[in-house]
Structure 1
Amino acid sequence: MSTDTKLYSTTNEHEELRQAVRRLADEKIAPYAAEVDENERYPQEAHDALVKAGFSAVHIDEKYDGAGGDAIAACIVIEEVARVCASSSLLPAVNKLGSMPIILSASEELKQKVLPSIGRGESSISYGLSEREAGSDAAAMRTKAVKDGDTWVLNGTKAWITQSGISDWYTVMAVTDPEKRANGISAFVVHRDDPGFEVGNKERKMGIKGSPTCELHFTNCVIPEDRIIGEPGTGFKTALRTLDHTRPTIGIQAVGIAQGALEAAIAYVKERKQFRKAIADFQGVQFMIADMGMKVETARQMCYVSAAASERGDANAGFLASAAKCYASDIAMEVTTDAVQLFGGAGYTRDFPVERMMRDAKITQIYEGTNQIQRVVMARALLK
């Protein structure tokens, strides 16, 4: 773990991007957020608006018909959308998660086959790593891939797959050499139309209800041999490298959720009157607001530092990614809970957005590695 961590800088283009995404989020996404959550439906309005504006996958390089945005730009998009609707922020977030293994390790031919449609917003891509009995212990996965002539045949089930059923492409990890455990795992790209591939039923979730989460079933699923990402046996290494790039995006999603809750709380305490004055005039409330703002800003800076480090390939990028994701998601849960408290009884109703934000925040402590696993990763880096 290096002690000379570099920071980051933003440009005028970054600030212009933030203003554009915030305007889009307020006008095209926020009006539907409560109804999307209430009816557990896909936020099609957000999808259409993000695609039309070119914000659905800003991280895709221009050579693959993307915007060519850097890691900071991707974080800005996710943060500003999450501020009004966490479910909608998963559109750009999962596109980055699903495509990063391809960007990092795939052949140029495979990149040309998959990335342009994502860059143009015509397709989306999900990430298939977890299984019911292989969550934190991902190397214990049972999904297998066997070479058969000029094809690969996949059998098994993946669980908790975000945006499943919506995405056209799926990056999937499968065992190709059981004797080698983690070093016997390979990465593949599966298309929704591949024979033997099926999306299971939607999970009934506490939060992010607008983003479908399902199982993926592979029953003698046949894909062309050139859909393997990198060499056989390198899939797990690619998965770990991917998480260094994408854990900051979950952290910044958490920051966006927390920022939205903080803004709602500030507006409410200025208007709500008790004992003949606004509750914002009470020092106890002011201290809560101050602590919430301080923690959100700290988390935000950690996420941007981590995103920049991952793009540079810094030696401590893994530590920073886990730290940013862990801290930001813990803060999001804390800040949204405090926001509900500041709203009092009203905060416990669905008439205000903070209860939804509190429910949405919880998953950020769990997916892309639980915060307990993040602490294991950080400890190993520090003790190394």
Structure 2
Amino acid sequence: MDQRLTLPEDGVVSGPRPFAQWDSPPSVKLGPMGAEPPLPPTVAALRDSLHGLADKVMRPIGRHLDRLTAEQVVDKGSRYWEFRREYAKLGIDVAGLADFPAEELPALFTVLFEELGWGDAGLAISVGAGMLPHYMAAKFGNSFVAKTYPETLTGCWGITEPDHGSDMLDSNSAIAHPRGAYGRPNCVARIGDGKVTIRGQKSAWVSNGPIADLCILYCAAETKDGAADPHRGAVLVVPLDAPGISKGKPLEKMGQRALPQGELFFDNVELDIDHLLLAPEDYKKGVYAIHTEANALMGATFTGCARAAYELAFAYAHERKQGGVPIIRHQDVAKRLFHMARKVELSRAITRRVTSFNMVNDQPALQAAMFAKVTATQHALEVASDAVQMFGGNGVTLEYPVEKIFRDARSSLIEDGCNEILAIKGGTLMVDPDLLSPTA
């Protein structure tokens, strides 16, 4: 049988061209998302719309908000709200995502947050946090939230506390010190008689806290004797206009300044039991579930952040001259750009792969989602740092965007669980009981 490649009569081929038609020497430009195979048409169309929003809306607004105080960012006249209005025009919501074919959802999710992260990391996280109450309620099979609260409401996720940061993500005590004592939780819910009563506070790291309408709240659940343990909790959806709720001042911080963050206070807030998404017996599964989703979101967002830094450095290396030539002609610069591009590709690949696995597997693997978050955020910091170095003195000035991207990326190594803690917790999730001896 003749295995030789032949050309169609019109000379046009799809896919790889025969060797004989290659350029000499071969030279290939990667696509807008690197070495990305063709996306499904619907995802590709969404990507084009998102990229336009990220380029024309997110980037200028993100840079503008970066120069403001935290209180100015959340002001009613702030351009933050301009971004939210423009994003809303895309019509991306939890109900709409359910209409996409299941096989397209991994690409859709990762492309969505990569493009948003490319535009502005802080605004991207604000979008993700805004979806969480409805998104997780749907994941948990709860219809009350969708029927009671419109998706136009801005959401937030309240989990970390002033005295319990990563502790709140560690419901199975994987990172606990053997001599440690957690102490009393800062936020506690009492469940009974068809009501839930919440008292206490969540820390200043609640993303969207200062501007949110609806919160998916993770807190300790009080026992019958009045005690409270951070490992025995409850998950609730809380309307933030309920009596007894107040908000702290927006947080001033180094990076992601376009993302409003701030404390939430609960003074004996009473809600109907319908607002309880998960009771104490399912709390650990609830922490596992939302952390899996959040880590995948972080992986995609900071793939986009790294890509933004790389693309700016790549363009600058063609424009800036030193030694009489564009700096990309210097071997060290070319080598640096190669490794920057490699890290972006790795971040995208592992995030897409993990998201695909977790969306089709019987149960998502949190440790795999942690692979994506740790890899993408670490790479984002490294790529952004290299971009600053490549810009030289210009890289540390406010005139060029790479210093802002560097600050945004630096924050990500702490966000949604600091990477060191995730590595420890992820390592414990990798233990295979079947391979251990009975006494181990």
TM-score scaled to structure 2, two decimals? 0.78
Q: Secondary structure at the match of 1:163?
A: coil
* Corresponding residue to 1:289 among 315, 321, 337: 337
Alignment of 1:85-164 (within 5 A): 85-105=120-140, 107-114=142-149, 117-118=150-151, 122-138=152-168, 139=171, 140=182, 141-147=185-191, 149-159=193-203, 160-164=205-209
Q: How far apart, CA to CA, are the structure 2 residues paired with 1:375 and 1:64?
A: 32
Question: How far does residue 238 in structure 1 lie from its aligned partner after superposition?
Answer: 0.6
Secondary structure of 1:162's match?
A: coil
1:183-332 alignment to 2 at 5 Å? 184-313=232-361, 317-332=365-380
> In the alignment, does 2:218 pair up with 1:173?
yes
Offset at residue 316 of structure 1 (A): 6.2
Bigger drift between 334-343 and 138-147 goes to 138-147
Give 1:4's aligned residue. none
Task: Return closer, same or farther for 1:296/1:242 CA change in 2, 3 Å cut-off.
Answer: same
Count of residues paired in the alignment: 369
CA contact (8 A) 2:188 2:200 kept: yes
Q: How far 1:173 moved relative to its partner?
A: 1.5
In structure 2, distance between residues paired with 1:171 and 1:247: 17
5+ long unaligned stretches in structure 1 = 1-7
Looking at structure 2, the residues matched to 359 and 192 of structure 1 have their Cα atoms a distance apart, in angstroms, of 30
SS in 2 for 1:166: coil
Greater Cα shift, 363-372 or 94-103: 94-103
Q: 1:340–1:63: structure 2 CA closer, same or farther, 3 Å change rule?
A: closer
2:90 matched residue in structure 1: 53
Identify the range of structure 1 (264-273 vs 95-104) with the bigger mean alpha-carbon deviation. 95-104
Aligned-residue RMSD, C-alpha = 2.4
Deviation of 1:63 (Å):
9.4
What is the letter of the counterpart of residue 150 of structure 1? G
Displacement of 1:200 in angstroms is 0.7
CA 311–157 in structure 1, closer or farther in 2 if over 3 Å, else same: same
Shift, 1:66, TM fit:
10
Partners of 2:186 and 2:202 within 8 A in 1: no
Counterpart amino acid of residue 307 in structure 2: Q
> TM-score scaled to structure 1, two decimals?
0.89
Aligned counterpart, 2:382 = 334
Structure 2: state its 5+ residue gaps.
1-36, 75-79, 172-181, 433-440
Aligned residue type for 2:194: D
Q: Which amino acid in the other structure matches residue 20 of structure 1?
A: S
1:107-157 per-residue CA deviation (whole Å, 9 max, x = no partner) reads 32334223xx22xxx212110110011111114533111135432110011
- Preserved contact between residue 177 and residue 233 of structure 1 (Cα < 8 Å): no
Distance 2:202 2:315 in 1: 42
Identity across matched positions, percent: 25
Which protein shows a greater Rg? Answer: 2
Query: Which structure is higher in helix share?
Result: 1
Query: Could you tell me which amino acid in structure 1 is paired with residue 110 of structure 2?
Result: C
